[in-house]
Structures are given as C-alpha cells and as structure tokens.
A and B are shown apart, each in its own frame.
Chain A
C-alpha cells in the first residue's frame, strides 16, 4: 500500500529537549516536505526536499532542521523545542514533475505539545 508514515503520532515533551519526528514514504517520490498546521493559520511549509541531499526552507523554518540522506526518509529535528512549536505536523511526498510540486500524499500527522 502506497503511504507516508510518521512517528510518533503523539508527543508531549519539555522545552529544550531535542526531538526527532520521522517520516518515511514507500512510493519512490523525489519531493518531500514538512508542514505545521495551526488553527486559523492553515498549513505552513517548514522545509522541503527536491531529492537526496537537496533541501530548502519553506515559509516557517526557524527552530527546525531536516536532512535527506535517503530518498524514502525525511526526518524533522527540533534541536531545542519551545512552546510556540506546539502544533500538528504533517509530512508529505510527491512525484515531482519538473518544478511543480504535484499531487502530494500526506502522512497521518504528529501532534506535538511542548510544555
């Protein structure tokens, strides 16, 4: 089954404790992306990756890191989480067609709470 998986699905942590949210896709997609979703603000792109070792900032990259060492995996790293990073996070992937992001497949989401 074609899918994007994220782990963990729920996470409660404390300010400053480093964490990683994993994302994996089994569709051999080139393009992967991370979003956060907040009430009233919609989905905002954090980082995206066009292919292995190629990453770029989205609209809200501050406080986040990513890496793309393998095509299927795109982890999101919060080196020193703060309460304003409490949010619902989605990973997505797509088969990039030229420079068009194309049809994106989203993971189930990770609800993060930072106290």
Chain B
C-alpha cells in the first residue's frame, strides 16, 4: 500500500526565516511525486512534479528536491503570502491514482 507522510503538521515562521517541509513516501516504484499548495477554502494548486532521485525544481522562493525515500520543499526567505497548506502526492508505477499526504500548514508572520 502506498503511503505518504508529511512533517511537520504545522509550521510557523517569521518573514525571511528559511525552512524545509518533509514528505516521506513508500511506494512500489515511483512514477512521479507532486507538490501542491492549498489556500483556505480553495482547491489545491499545482507546484512541481519530480520523477527521479536527485531531481530538483525551483519556483520563486520554493525549491523541491527528491531522494529515493523522501522529498523536501525548501522555502527561502518566506513572505506572508507563502502562508498555505502544502500537499505532497505520489503516483506509483502501474497505478493511475494518486496518494496524498495530510499536508503541512505553513504560517509566515510579518
């Protein structure tokens, strides 16, 4: 059974204080790992897809990395508008369904 565990559940940062969110996964062969951002009352918004260990993707203050067991979402010098819940999901080889983690709720205070 595919499993995705995100940590921490919640994180509070000061503006400019860099940090990382963790996504640990267990799948029988990884097809892809996805990061999404979800604002309160809205649907998730796609951020990144990672396909293989060692791959990195960047977008503004966000950088996603992937190893064989986990992915990190690094947030550099965050701003209050980065406050949201960040979701990680995996797709296993041979499956077309996605498995999501419970998310990390990030709050960035000015």
Residues of B within 8 A of A (CB): 4, 31-32, 34, 36, 41-46, 49, 87, 89, 91, 96-103
**B100→A106 contact, CB < 8 A:** no
**A43→B87 contact, CB < 8 A:** yes
Q: Which of A40, A59, A106 contacts B97 (CB 8 A)?
A: A59
Interface of A is mostly: strand
Given contacts A100-B32, A102-B49, contact A44 B44 (CB under 8 A): no
**A58→B97 contact, CB < 8 A:** yes
**A90→B43 contact, CB < 8 A:** yes
Interface of B is mostly: strand
> Which B residues lie within 8 Å of A58 (CB)?
97
B51's closest neighbor in chain A, by CB? A100
Whether a CB of chain B sits under 8 angstroms from the CB of A109 is yes
**A101→B43 contact, CB < 8 A:** no
Interface centre among B49, B91, B98 (most CB of A within 10 A): B98
**B43→A56 contact, CB < 8 A:** no
Q: Which of A42, A44, A50 contacts B87 (CB 8 A)?
A: A42
